[in-house]
Amino acid sequence: MRQVGNATEGVKFQNGREKRTEGEFLREMRLNRRQLLRRLGLGTATFGMSSNGKADEASLPTTSEADVEQGELGPVTRWAVRAALEFRVHPSYGRRLPWEIPGIVYKRGGNIDLKLDVFTPGIETQKRPTFIYIHGGGWVHAWKEDFIFILLPYLTRGMNTVNVEYRKADQSPAPAAVEDCRDALRWVHKHAEEYGFSTSKIVVAGGSSGGHLALMTGMLDPSDGFDDTTAYALGHGPLPVAAIVNFFGQYDLTELLDGPGRSDWALEWFSGVPNRMELAKKLSPLSYVRKGLPPIISIHGTKDIPTYQQAVRFHEALDRAGVRNQLVTIKGGGHGWSTWSMQDNLRSQAMIFKFLEANGILTEGSQSD
């Protein structure tokens, strides 16, 4: 296990209150273009980070007065404009009936049409690494749309992205969410040719309960029994992934149902389920550590109790099983990105990209041009 700790201060910005002309403001904010690119890491492999994975003191990208006169844009704005013109949402509005809500139905579960969104950084016929994201919310709330900006760093690296919804506790208790996410992964494999998903470079990721679901989705085998509910409708077979990115997920659900780590949202997800402690063990990633798993990187704050201690145990178990893995520790960080400094968020993103590069999923220096 490679454990990385970093405790840094958040970056703060403050605008002066005195009234200034636009020209005065632009002159004050103007930065040397090369220095700006170096600070932001643009022109390298990352968005907002330097190529060595370290985030320098952050600076806001601005457009100089000369650029305005010449009709030029700053590097971030140029990327955003190209993304707006070249990136694609599937299916496009031209391929939907006027009354159809955006999104692609990947399965029907419990009389609910479950959807996912596909975003490609260019034409869908080109094969690309693919990033599947599963949102958090304690298995009880939140929507996939709430976390859509999490996809942006991966789009900048030229990855296709898939944003997945699943049944929450008020729609169906455990283990429905796990079954749904496995079926979303199956859909990606089955539609690889249509959307340009490189099946040898699929990354499953998620945050909080989505991190737990990402771990389960990528670690399970069909023989574990969670693919049976749609075996006839969707098929039944191996669903390989190339890596798992876990943001502060859960590893041992039994500790969330009883004892000092007991949580209301876990209780709601397991509400009414018979033999819930037995099922909680079956839904715990720690129960599936074994040789042959895909590489796994976890990012976790040390003040996220009790799951940080679970993360340490989990990655130690991965070490013993010979699974490539990395635990990125956010010293003093709590549960979630908002509890971390901006520097910690930038550093952890850089480490994720380096991990994906080291495991052959991304090419160093690649980005969406």
Task: Provide the domain limits for residue 32.
Answer: 22-86
109 and 218 housed in the same domain: yes
184 and 276 housed in the same domain: yes
97 and 207 housed in the same domain: yes
From the list 237, 236, 244, the residue with the least C-alpha distance to 295 is 244
Into how many domains does the chain fold?
A: 2
329 and 286 housed in the same domain: yes
290 and 163 housed in the same domain: yes
The residue-averaged pLDDT of 64-92 equals 77
Instruction: Return the pLDDT at 3.
Output: 55
303 and 316 housed in the same domain: yes
CATH code at 209? 3.40.50.1820
72 and 114 housed in the same domain: no
Instruction: Return the pLDDT at 11.
Output: 32
40 and 181 housed in the same domain: no
184 and 330 housed in the same domain: yes
Instruction: Return the pLDDT at 1.
Output: 62
Among 86, 102, 120, give the residue marking a domain's end. Answer: 86
- Rounded CA gap, 369 and 366, in Å? 9
61 and 112 housed in the same domain: no
What is the per-residue pLDDT across 267-288, written as a single tens digit (0 to 9) for each?
Answer: 999 999 999 999 999 999 999 9
Residue 16 lies in a domain: no
Q: Check whether 37 has a pLDDT greater than 80.
A: no
pTM, two decimals, is 0.80
- Rounded CA gap, 349 and 342, in Å? 11
Residue 122 lies in a domain: yes
Residue 323 lies in a domain: yes
**Pairing, β 104-109 against β 2-6:** unpaired
What is the per-residue pLDDT across 320-369, written as a single tens digit (0 to 9) for each?
Answer: 999 999 999 999 999 999 999 999 999 999 999 999 999 999 998 666 54
Instruction: Return the pLDDT at 99.
Output: 66
- Rounded CA gap, 155 and 79, in Å? 11
Among 44, 61, 86, give the residue marking a domain's end. Answer: 86
46 and 160 housed in the same domain: no
Mean pLDDT of the chain: 83
Among 35, 54, 86, give the residue marking a domain's end. Answer: 86
Residue 368 lies in a domain: no
163 and 34 housed in the same domain: no
Residue 7 lies in a domain: no
